Structure 1
């Protein structure tokens, strides 16, 4: 499929990619900007879902480097975290590649509304207290299944997966928000790479708009790391709540 990349569309991709990189690094939901931007160009939903992963993967690499440079990337339980995430990501991306695109909207809407309710009614379920210590995945059945679901969801739809990862990592493993964000972008990068391989195999990635998007999301991710390191945790909680509501509205519309 050929798309006409006009200066207007290039500008839209660059702007939404920049904002998306910031939002995805400090919270999630940036794909609710980039997916519509890609579809505005006349790209089918399945191709937009696949092409969007190029930007998500590149911004994840930039954010991983940023958090690691500041010593905020926990590495002692990476194997335990990544195994269920990658299994879920593979299953989710295969599901997305073959299922009708009509499945994407209800999955996104139900998940975002459920998470918004949890953050509002029982925030301690997602956000650990200041004196809590982190847990290992080994022997933690709830964490394993939550990480598996987060991987499946990220492989399936991507949009809003940052919120799911925060709930899985912060909620079940009790990492503070900064380290949760660091692990979140590492996890997103891992299963996004798996999804990209599947979508490339299915020839669903449109590379030129994908690379334009990637360049701007990298800049946004670098800004997002700096904000994440300095933002007040209370502000982050409310920001996450607002962003999950925004993701719900985006899915509904």
Structure 2
């Protein structure tokens, strides 16, 4: 596929990846920056969506490594969390390869607005009180459904899936925001790997733009992990709220 990649566009991709990597670790929505950046090269939306997963995959790997080094990744929660997520992501990846991306935009906008309202009027939704015992998806019907929906949406289009994962992990399963973000990166990595497999099989990846985005994303992810574990829950909650509102506006205006 023909596209134009000048030095300044390459710089833009790396810089956009860095910003996206940083905010994706803390919240989500970075793909609302990276997919349009890829489309500036003249890449169609479906190919941009597929190519974007290269950066998301490597960013997730760096985030997982970072949280693991900091002792913030609850490993015993990984397998129970992945059952509904992987199931949903396979379905979402197949949908993404054959259906228009616009189908899920109204759903994610409603989800983001609902999450913003809950964070304002019910702060404990994403910041459980200290000492709260987290739940397994098998102990929470809403948690299981949330993780399944996150997998479907993440497999379909990456943009905004972090918010859905946080809603399930912190809101339904009651993890604090740091550990919810750590588990979010595991889930993101797994269903992104599944999505990449589908997109590679269908020859929908442009590797040079994807790896340029990935370079910035990995740097942003590393910086973000260090920031996330050094601040308190309230700071993370307010940052999450600001990012949710910003992404809501971005979706609304596009």
| TM-score between both structures, scaled by the size of structure 1 | 0.96
- Answering whether residue 220 of structure 2 is matched by residue 220 of structure 1, we say yes
- CA drift at 1:104: 4.3
Asked if 1 retains the 8 angstrom alpha-carbon contact of 2:18 and 2:216, the reply is yes
1:46-72 Cα shifts (integer Å, max 9, x gaps)? 111111110000000011011111111
- CA drift at 1:107: 3.3
The CA RMSD over aligned residues, in Å, is: 1.3
Looking at structure 1, the residues matched to 86 and 200 of structure 2 have their Cα atoms a distance apart, in angstroms, of 17
The equivalent residue for 1:238 is 238
Q: Which runs of no fewer than 5 residues in structure 2 stay unpaired?
A: none
Q: Which runs of no fewer than 5 residues in structure 1 stay unpaired?
A: none
1:125-151 Cα shifts (integer Å, max 9, x gaps)? 232111211122223222111110111
Looking at structure 1, the residues matched to 38 and 250 of structure 2 have their Cα atoms a distance apart, in angstroms, of 15
| SS at 1:71 equivalent | coil
Asked if 1 retains the 8 angstrom alpha-carbon contact of 2:126 and 2:176, the reply is no
Runs of 4+ with >4 A deviation: none
- Answering whether residue 30 of structure 2 is matched by residue 30 of structure 1, we say yes
Looking at structure 1, the residues matched to 205 and 42 of structure 2 have their Cα atoms a distance apart, in angstroms, of 14
The equivalent residue for 2:146 is 146
1:41-95 Cα shifts (integer Å, max 9, x gaps)? 1111111111111000000001101111111110112211001001111111111
| SS at 1:230 equivalent | coil
Of stretches 141-150 and 130-139 in structure 1, the one that deviates more from structure 2 is: 130-139
The 5 A counterparts of 1:149-228 are 149-228=149-228
The equivalent residue for 2:6 is 6
Looking at structure 2, the residues matched to 36 and 215 of structure 1 have their Cα atoms a distance apart, in angstroms, of 17
| SS at 2:139 equivalent | coil
- CA drift at 1:168: 0.5
Matched length: 253
Of stretches 75-84 and 137-146 in structure 1, the one that deviates more from structure 2 is: 137-146
| SS at 1:128 equivalent | coil
Looking at structure 2, the residues matched to 244 and 196 of structure 1 have their Cα atoms a distance apart, in angstroms, of 26
The 5 A counterparts of 1:63-102 are 63-102=63-102
Looking at structure 2, the residues matched to 96 and 220 of structure 1 have their Cα atoms a distance apart, in angstroms, of 26
Looking at structure 1, the residues matched to 101 and 171 of structure 2 have their Cα atoms a distance apart, in angstroms, of 30
| SS at 1:76 equivalent | helix
Looking at structure 2, the residues matched to 107 and 50 of structure 1 have their Cα atoms a distance apart, in angstroms, of 20
- Answering whether residue 112 of structure 2 is matched by residue 106 of structure 1, we say no
| SS at 1:129 equivalent | coil
The equivalent residue for 2:62 is 62
Asked if 2 retains the 8 angstrom alpha-carbon contact of 1:29 and 1:160, the reply is yes
1:158-197 Cα shifts (integer Å, max 9, x gaps)? 1111111111111111111111111011111111111111
Looking at structure 1, the residues matched to 11 and 104 of structure 2 have their Cα atoms a distance apart, in angstroms, of 27
Asked if 2 retains the 8 angstrom alpha-carbon contact of 1:108 and 1:159, the reply is no
| SS at 2:76 equivalent | coil
CA spacing shift, 1:107–1:206, aligned 2, 3 Å: farther
| TM-score between both structures, scaled by the size of structure 2 | 0.95
Looking at structure 2, the residues matched to 67 and 23 of structure 1 have their Cα atoms a distance apart, in angstroms, of 15
